[in-house]
């Protein structure tokens, strides 16, 4: 995936809304994933499930599919309208870590739901295993991303947090 995108005057409104929508959807996945696993096991063994498991299982499928859509739309917005420049006040190694982290996060936000959809609708067990394997790396990358954002804000004092909340802030 190319990491270069045209420069823009801050993040677009769409990009900011999608960033926080994805955060909310990932929190929902954090809450509902046990039910999804239970629904998956029961479906494969053809054993019955209760209504709560089924409801939360479908919440997982819908929220996960929305993550895929949101990540693709955000990437389209980023490459067609640009992203703000990496802050000048930070060393180049920090920008480099941020770029790699962002690329890996996007990759998982796209590949993980695809693997889940292939597992569920294609009945392919191996895809379920691959889907599961991506969870811990995603959590580690998110932790790194949040620590990075806070380091930018409070150590390098680049004011980067404001621009992910307020569209048009450079
Ligand atoms: C599920 C959790 C999260 C995910 C998956 C996520 C993902 C992303 C992605 C993919 C980008 C775009 C980078 C780009 O296109 O170049 C981004 C930007 C950003 N995120 Fe997050 N993020 C999450 C949570 C957070 C949180 C909790 C914070 C605040 C503490 C945060 C702060 C930021 C900031 C400040 C940027 C903009 C960086 C810049 O302008 O250079 N993110 N995030
Ligand atoms: C980025 C979006 C998604 C995230 C973060 C996510 C997260 C998870 C997690 C944490 C688990 C439990 C793994 C475990 O047992 O430790 C799981 C299981 C599962 N998810 Fe997702 N999921 C997403 C999207 C989807 C989508 C769109 C589907 C489509 C149907 C799906 C289908 C499944 C299935 C079938 C399982 C059971 C897999 C197994 O236990 O082998 N997921 N998911």
- The pLDDT > 90 percentage for the chain reads 79
Residue 2 pLDDT greater than 50, yes or no: no
Ligand 1 atom with the shortest distance to the CA of 84? 40
* More confidently predicted of 58 and 159: 58
Q: What is the pLDDT of residues 90-103, one digit of tens each?
A: 788 888 999 999 99
* Ligand closest to the CA atom of residue 101: 1
Task: Tell me the CA–centroid distance for residue 70 and ligand 2, in Å.
Answer: 17
Q: Ligand 2: distance of its center to the CA of 151 in Å?
A: 31
Which of 36, 68, 114 best tests ligand 2's pocket when mutated (most atoms within 8 Å of CB)? Answer: 36
The residue-averaged pLDDT of 135-141 equals 98
Q: Kindly tell me if the per-residue pLDDT of 1 is higher than 70.
A: no
| CA gap 88, 66 in Å, rounded | 34
Q: In the prediction, which pLDDT does 4 show?
A: 62
Question: Does the beta carbon of 57 sit less than 6 angstroms from any atom of ligand 2?
Answer: no
Q: Which residue has the tokens 């039910």?
A: 35
Q: Is a pLDDT exceeding 90 seen at residue 5? A: no
Q: Tell me, using a 6 A CB cutoff, whether residue 109 lines ligand 2.
A: yes
């Amino acid at each position: 995936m190319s990491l270069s995108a045209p420069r823009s005057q801050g993040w677009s409104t769409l990009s900011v809304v999608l960033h926080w929508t994805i955060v909310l959807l990932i929190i929902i996945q954090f809450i509902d994933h046990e039910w999804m696993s239970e629904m998956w096991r029961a479906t494969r063994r053809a054993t019955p499930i209760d209504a709560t498991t089924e409801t939360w299982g479908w919440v997982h499928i819908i929220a996960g599919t929305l993550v895929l859509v949101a990540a693709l739309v955000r990437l389209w917005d980023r490459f067609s309208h640009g992203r703000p420049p990496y802050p000048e006040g930070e060393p180049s190694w920090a920008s480099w870590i941020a770029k790699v982290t962002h690329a890996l996060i996007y990759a998982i936000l796209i590949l993980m739901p695809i693997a889940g959809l292939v597992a569920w609708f294609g009945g392919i067990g191996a895809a379920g295993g691959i889907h599961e394997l991506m969870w811990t790396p995603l959590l580690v990358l998110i932790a790194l991303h949040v620590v990075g954002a806070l380091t930018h804000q409070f150590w390098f004092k680049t004011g980067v947090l404001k621009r992910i909340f307020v569209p048009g802030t450079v």
